[in-house]
Amino acid sequence: CGNPASRVEVNYYSGLQSLPRTVEQTILRLAHAKMPTEPCGCDVTQRLWKRDRRIPDVLTKLRLECPFGMSDGAWTAWRFTQTMKLVRAGTEIIR
């Protein structure tokens, strides 16, 4: 460890040719939240990983019920997905 990654593979399929920056950041924050071990690399990467893995000492009921997890990165990603949600005739559709 201590060397920059030589390769990163991300599998993502979407109808968009390019992702908006907010979507990229949301995916990154959720990925950090799910990464069990600290990444190798620069201080910035490690600082962002720690930020997204942090679980607050006090959690709201909504936060406790977050299906992505309780960490800050998971909560941020969940909130973002809820802004993309459509509701039609009582059925929720995520676009």
pLDDT in tens, 22-48: 988 999 999 999 998 888 878 898 999
Say how far apart CA 24 and CA 29 lie, in whole Å. 9
Upper half-sphere CA count for residue 21 (Cβ side, 13 Å) = 0
Q: Is 70 exposed, middle or buried (0-12, 13-18, 19+ CB in 10 A)?
A: middle
The full DSSP string for 36-78 is -SPPSS-HHHHHHHHHHH---SS--HHHHT-TT-SSHHHHHHH
Highest mean pLDDT among 3-17, 35-49, 79-93: 35-49
pLDDT tens per residue across span 43-63: 898 999 999 999 999 999 999
Say how far apart CA 30 and CA 43 lie, in whole Å. 19
